Amino acid sequence: MFPFRANRFHSPYLLLLGSVLAVFSGLTACNKNSGNTIVVGEFASLTGKEASFGISSHEGTLMAIEEINAAGGVLGKQLELKTEDNLSKPGESANIVNKLIARDKVVAILGEVASSRSLEAAPICQQSGIPMISPASTNPKVTETGDYIFRVCFIDPFQGTVMANFAEKTLKVSKVAIFTDVKSDYSKGLAKFFKESFSKNGQLTSELDYSGGDKDFKAQLTTIKNGNPEAVFVPGYYTDVALIRIQARQLGLDVPFFGGDGWEGADLLSIGKEAVEGDYFSTHYSPEAGSPKGKAFVEAYKKRFNGKVPDAMAALGYDSAMILADAIKSAGSTEGAKIKEALTKVKDYDAVTGKITINKERNADKSAVILQVKGGAFHYLETVGP
């Protein structure tokens, strides 16, 4: 046989062959979810600098899928979870999601924790008509991408206001410095909303930047110290925050530090050790203050993962998978448009992280909790409602 050369042959036979292949491809796509399984995609940071987030959210997601399947699945079928690691690197999430949609024919996508990586994936899901549910991306731009993009967490305008009120009412400080990661959409967004709220009654002594992954923060911290703040707000991720806090202590900058849900990783404690002792952050959930359903989740998770206590990312991963399964069941279909419509109707869903209602912007209306680092662990301090 001789090879076809597209630039030389334009016969109707080739056009017919192309049509046949297209139809076959379409049938393959349909058949991918017409057997005994419904394929769901997940992308997460399973390795790299935010691996703690990705591993936790994946474990929660996996546990939910296992429970759903043990109870009979959805629409008489088992859920099949296809998980891919984005290595905590820019650009990887877009490649992964394209592959999950084109190759694996997933009916929906779960992920990611980091807002920057969710923002890579969201336009692809939107264009493909594939519903995407982020467990923990809090930047408002994520769901603004389009009507197929959802989340089961609160957003940064709420979280920023929560921490501004916390600084004023609980810490009782009126002068705060902000230290922001310029490479992170999450960090920049949370800093913006904190500033808008805190500036109404308080004073910002300085607003400085760092780049996520940096190792030396002493120049900026010296400037922050010279401004004499009563507290420092760092809306960053746990690895950077731990190093920042160590260097702040070395410089004698011993005022309280506080931040958002990006702090919640085991590495904050293992790297930061006594340097982060006494500091505070807002997050989505605490195993110390859960509902009966939340407490049952803690025990099941500990049993499933060798005594490991679930953090907020694990709980949100679990909730995202459970809400997706419930939406597929309510829709009675695996069609993207029907799943999307079912997700818009989620109201007062009894989730592990609390009651969840998906509002018209496809965000979750729900409470936040404040945790404090105490005795080398995260401890519940208070709950703040929406």
Residue 74 has pLDDT above 80, yes or no: yes
pLDDT for 7 beyond 50:
no
Q: Please compute the mean of the pLDDT values over residues 47-73 and round it to a whole number.
A: 97
Q: Is residue 179 in a domain?
A: yes
Asked if 149 and 295 sit in the same domain, the reply is yes
Residue 272 sits in the same domain as residue 295: no
Same domain, yes or no, for 106 and 215? no
Region 302-314: mean pLDDT is 96
3-state secondary structure string, the chain?
CCCCCCCCCCCHHHHHHHHHHHHHHHHHHHHHCCCCEEEEEEEECCCCCCHHHHHHHHHHHHHHHHHHHHCCCECCEEEEEEEEECCCCCCHHHHHHHHHHHCCCCCCEECCCCHHHHHHHHHHHHHHCCCEEECCCCCCHHHHCCCCEEECCCCHHHHHHHHHHHHHHCCCCCEEEEEEECCCHHHHHHHHHHHHHHCCCCEEEEEEEECCCCCCCHHHHHHHHHCCCCEEECCCCHHHHHHHHHHHHHCCCCCCEEECHHHCCHHHHHHHHHHHCCCEEEECCCCCCCCHHHHHHHHHHHHHCCCCCCCHHHHHHHHHHHHHHHHHHHHCCCCHHHHHHHHCCCCCEEECCEEEEECCCCCEECCEEEEEEECCEEEEEEEECC
Q: Which of 283, 313, 333 is a domain's end point?
A: 283
CA dihedral 361, 330, 337, 365 (to 10 degrees): 10
- The reply to whether 260 and 325 lie within a common domain is no
Who contacts 376 (Cβ-Cβ below 8 Å, separation ≥6)? 269, 273, 277
| Domain presence at residue 119 | yes
In this structure, are 182 and 117 located in the same domain?
no
Is position 379 within any domain? no
Average pLDDT over residues 161-171: 96
Per-residue pLDDT, 35: 76
Per-residue pLDDT band at 34 (split at 50, 70, 90): low
Examine residue 299 and state whether it is found in any structural domain, yes or no. yes
Percent of the chain with pLDDT over 90: 86
Do residues 342 and 291 lie in contact, with contact meaning Cβ atoms separated by under 8 Å? no
What is the tally of structural domains in the chain?
2
pLDDT confidence of residue 27:
35
Residue 35: closest CA among 101, 80, 65: 80
Shared-domain flag, residues 246 and 355: no
- Give CA 58 to chain center in angstroms: 11
Could you tell me if residue 8 is inside a domain? no
Residue 385 has pLDDT above 50, yes or no: yes
CB 244 within 8 A of CB 221: yes
Q: What is the pLDDT of residues 127-149, one digit of tens each?
A: 999 999 999 999 999 999 999 99
Which domain-ending residue is among 250, 283, 316?
283
Same domain, 255 and 214: yes
What's the confidence (pLDDT) of residue 289?
84
Residues 244 and 194 in one domain: yes
201's tokens: 């009654």
Q: What's at 382, amino acid-wise?
A: E
Residues in the chain: 386
> What's the average model confidence in pLDDT over 170-174?
97
Average pLDDT over residues 64-83: 98
Q: What is the pLDDT of residue 278?
A: 97
| 276/249 Cα distance (integer angstroms) | 9
* pLDDT for the residue 33: 53
Of the candidates 232, 265, 283, which is a domain's last residue? 283
- Residue 161: give its domain's CATH number: 3.40.50.2300
Q: Has residue 378 been placed in a domain?
A: no
Domain limits at 220? 157-283
Check residues 203 and 25 and name the one with the higher pLDDT: 203
Structure confidence at residue 290 (pLDDT):
72
Buried b (16+ CB within 10 A) or exposed e, 99-135: ebbeebbbbbbbbbbbbbbbbbbbebbbebebbbbbb
Question: Rounded CA gap, 340 and 84, in Å?
Answer: 23
* 250 lies in the same domain as 301: no
- Residues 293 and 350 sit within 8 Å (Cβ to Cβ): yes
User: Which tops the pLDDT comparison, 34 or 116?
Assistant: 116
Shared domain for 216 and 102, answered yes or no, is no
Number of Cα atoms under 13 Å in the Cβ half of residue 322 = 21
pLDDT at 23: 35
Is the residue at 373 inside a domain? no
Q: How far apart are the first and last CA of the chain?
A: 69
**Pair 230, 181 in one domain:** yes
Regarding whether 181 and 67 lie in a shared domain, the answer is no
**Pairing mode, if any, of strands 109-110 and 149-151?**
unpaired
pLDDT in tens, 230-288: 999 999 999 999 999 999 999 999 999 999 999 999 999 999 999 999 999 999 999 99
**Two structure tokens written together for 260:** 């958002």
Tell me: pLDDT of 11 over 90: no
Q: Tell me if 141 is assigned to some domain.
A: yes
pLDDT digits (tens, 9 = 90+) for 35-45: 789 999 999 99
Residue 357 has pLDDT above 50, yes or no: yes
Burial of 347 (0-12, 13-18, 19+ CB in 10 A): exposed
